Structure 1
Amino acid sequence: MTKALETMIKQLSLEPVTTDIYLGESLDILRSGRIFGGQVLGQALMASSLTVVPERDIHSLHAYFIRPGDVNIPIRFEVERVRDGGSFSNRRVAAYQHNRHIFTMDASYHIEEEGFEHYDAMPDDIKGPENFISERQLVEQLADKLPPSVVKRYLVDGSPIEIRLAHPERYLKGGDFPAKTYYWFKADGHIEGTNSLIHKAALAYVSDAYFMFTSLFPHHQSSFDPHAQLASLDHAIWFHRPINMNEWHVYVMESSNAGSARGLTFGRIYNQQGVLVASTAQEGLIRHPVRFGNVK
C-alpha cells in the first residue's frame, strides 16, 4: 500500500467521540487551502454507515457543501438516525468546524433483495486504461506549465487513487470542447476485502475529482485558471452493484447544462467488465473570471 493510499484510508477511518458523533482528520491534499469535497463525502458516508446494521447497504446519498472546510482542524460529524424501517434505513449527517455547519448529507440504506435488472451499456468509444498515462506521468511532462502546488501534490505527495485522463487537454487549456469526457481510476495500492464499506467510501472520495470541470469544456476556460471561482455545491451518488477499488473503473461524465454561474454534470461509473456500478450527479459554481471576479 502506498503512503498516499494509507493516508486516505486513515482519513476515512473516523474517531468515535460519543454515540453517533465522530471526528474526521482534515488534510490539504489538493494544496488549495480548502478541504477536498471527496474527503468530506467519504467521511460522511463512513459516519452514517457506522450507525446502520451491516445487513443494510448504502444505495444512495445526497449532499450539500455549505462552507469551505478548514484544513487545520478535524471535522465533527453528527449522525441523526432518521428511520429504520422493515427494508430501508435513513440517516442524516451534519458536519461542523468552528461550531459552524459546513456540510450536510442524507443517506439511504437497503437490505439485499432480488429484483428486475437493467443498466445503460458502457459507451462504445471508451478506450481501456492501457491507452492513457497516469496523472503523475502527465504532471512530469507538463511540470513547467502547471501551478507549483499541483506539481508538488503529484510528484512529492502522491495520490491515493491512480487516475488516467482520456482528454487531459480539455482541462489544461480553454477551448470549444464537447461537455463530456471520461477517466479510468483504481486504488494506487491494495485495499483489503471487496465491496466493503471502505471501498464505497473510496469511490465517494474519487467521485468528486474533475467532475464539475466537465461543464467548463465548451467555454474556452481552463480548469486551472487561478482567477476563476470554482466550487462544488452539491453531490449525489447512487450505488448499484458491488465495488472493488483494486480494479479499474471508468468514470463517464457529461454536463447537460451551464447557466447562472452554475454547471450541472452527470456521471456513470463502470467496472472494467462494462457493468454499471454507480451513478452520480453534481452542480458546481463556475464563475467566469472576468465577469464575476471574486464575488461571493
Structure 2
Amino acid sequence: MPLTHGVEPLASLTRPPVGKILTLGQRGNDLFRGESHTNARRIYGGQTLGQALVAAGRTVERDHNPHSLHGHFIHPGRSDLPVDYIVERVRDGGSFTTRLVRALQNDRTILLATASFQRDEDGLTHQDTATTPAPVPENLPRFEDSLDASDPGDAQWLSQLMSNVGVEFRFPEEYPRLANRRGRRLPPRQRAWIRTPSRIGDESLLHAAGFAYCSDLFLLSSALPPHARHIDTPGLKLASLDHTVWLHAPFRADEWHLYEQHGYWMGGGRGIGRGRLYNRNGTLMASTMQEGLLRFR
C-alpha cells in the first residue's frame, strides 16, 4: 500500500547503484566519464565528489591511498547528462601525490576538486573526540518505517530521496527534521548509521569514494534545527558551496558507520556543518566539513 496518494510505495523503490555510479569510463589520458543512473533532475553532490576521487585515484600509484578531498561546487549538474572528469597531475612524490580534478558537463565546470594521496606509514596516533553510545543499526527500524504514513510531506520527501541517493541510513534518535516540522527548535546536531545499500567490491579507492558519496547527505541540514526549519521549508534555497573529506584510515563504505553532524554556525545566508564518522568501536575513521547556501526569501 502506498504511503500516501500519489506517492510510490517505498517498498517498491530501489536506491541508485553506488558501485555502478563509481565505475568510470576512460576516454583518454587522464580523462574519465561518469553517469548518474538516476531519474533526478539535478546531480546529487556526493556523486561528483565520489566520481572525482575515483578519477584522481586512477592516475595514482596503487600504494598511495586517498587521505583528503576538497571540492568546490561551481554549477549544478544535470543527471540526464554524463560528467567528464579531467585530471591534472599536480605532484607525484615519494610520500604524497596531489591531483586537481575538473568536472565538466557540456563544457561547463560543475565541480573543482583537489585530492591528496599518501603512501601508508606508521606514526604517533590519538583521537581527541568520542561519540556517545548508540543502539546498533540492526536494532533500529529502517527510516522509511519510522515515518508517519499519513504525512504526505515526509512521504514525498523520503520517496524522492530513496530514488535519487544510494545511501541507507538509520537514526538512533528522532531525526531533527521531524521535530522541526512540528515547530520545535533543537540543538544543531544529528547522527545516523549510514552505509551504501549494496556491496561495492574490495578496492580501497572505491570505499573512500563511497564514503565521499555518502558524506554529502544531511550534512548542511544540521545547521537548521535551532531555527525550527528544515530543507523543505517554503522559501529556503539550499546549495552546497564547498565540501571537504579527510580519511583517517581505510574502511568499508558498505558497512555500518555512525555519522555525527554538527551545524555549528549559520549567518549571512550561509551555514557550516562538521561531520565525524565512527566505526562500531568508536574509532574515528573520517571527518568532513561543508559550507553551503541557506538563504530564506
Band the TM-score falls in, shorter-chain normalisation: 0.7 to 0.9
Cα offset, 1:247, TM superposition: 2.3
Give per-residue Cα distances to partners, 1:38-77, cap 9 Å, x unaligned: 0010000000000000000101011100111011110010
- Residue 96 (structure 1) aligns with: 104
Q: How do 1:258-269 and structure 2 match up within 5 A?
A: 258-269=266-277
Q: How do 1:1-150 and structure 2 match up within 5 A?
A: 4=14, 7-28=17-38, 31=40, 33-139=41-147, 141=149, 144-146=152-154, 148=156, 150=158
Cα offset, 1:140, TM superposition: 6.9
Give the aligned residue type for 1:170.
Answer: P
- Residue 161 (structure 1) aligns with: 167
Structure 1: 5+ residue stretches without partners: none
The correspondence for 2:192, drawn from 176, 183, 188, is 183
Task: Provide the aligned C-alpha RMSD in A.
Answer: 2.3
Q: For residues 17 and 245 of structure 1, do their structure 2 counterparts lie closer, same or farther at Cα, with a shift above 3 Å needed?
A: same
- Residue 228 (structure 1) aligns with: 236
- Residue 176 (structure 2) aligns with: 170
Distance 2:116 2:124 in 1: 20
Give the aligned residue type for 2:143.
Answer: E
Distance 2:217 2:226 in 1: 19
- Residue 3 (structure 2) aligns with: none
Distance 2:151 2:15 in 1: 23
Distance 2:170 2:78 in 1: 29
Structure 2: 5+ residue stretches without partners: 1-12
Q: For residues 232 and 97 of structure 1, do their structure 2 counterparts lie closer, same or farther at Cα, with a shift above 3 Å needed?
A: same
Alignment partner of 1:241 is 2:264: no
Number of equivalent positions: 283
Distance 2:110 2:164 in 1: 27
Q: For residues 188 and 26 of structure 1, do their structure 2 counterparts lie closer, same or farther at Cα, with a shift above 3 Å needed?
A: closer
Could you state the TM-score of these two structures normalised by the residue count of structure 1? 0.88
Q: For residues 285 and 18 of structure 1, do their structure 2 counterparts lie closer, same or farther at Cα, with a shift above 3 Å needed?
A: same
Percent identical residues: 37
Cα offset, 1:4, TM superposition: 4.8
Give per-residue Cα distances to partners, 1:158-215, cap 9 Å, x unaligned: 863320123444113143110111100123233332x611111111111000000000
Could you state the TM-score of these two structures normalised by the residue count of structure 2? 0.88
Distance 1:46 1:266 in 2: 23
Whether contact under 8 Å (2:38, 2:164) holds in the other structure is no
Q: For residues 139 and 44 of structure 1, do their structure 2 counterparts lie closer, same or farther at Cα, with a shift above 3 Å needed?
A: farther
- Residue 282 (structure 2) aligns with: 274
Cα offset, 1:135, TM superposition: 2.6
Give per-residue Cα distances to partners, 1:265-287, cap 9 Å, x unaligned: 11110111111110100011101
Whether contact under 8 Å (2:16, 2:165) holds in the other structure is no
SS in 2 for 1:62: strand
Distance 1:79 1:91 in 2: 7
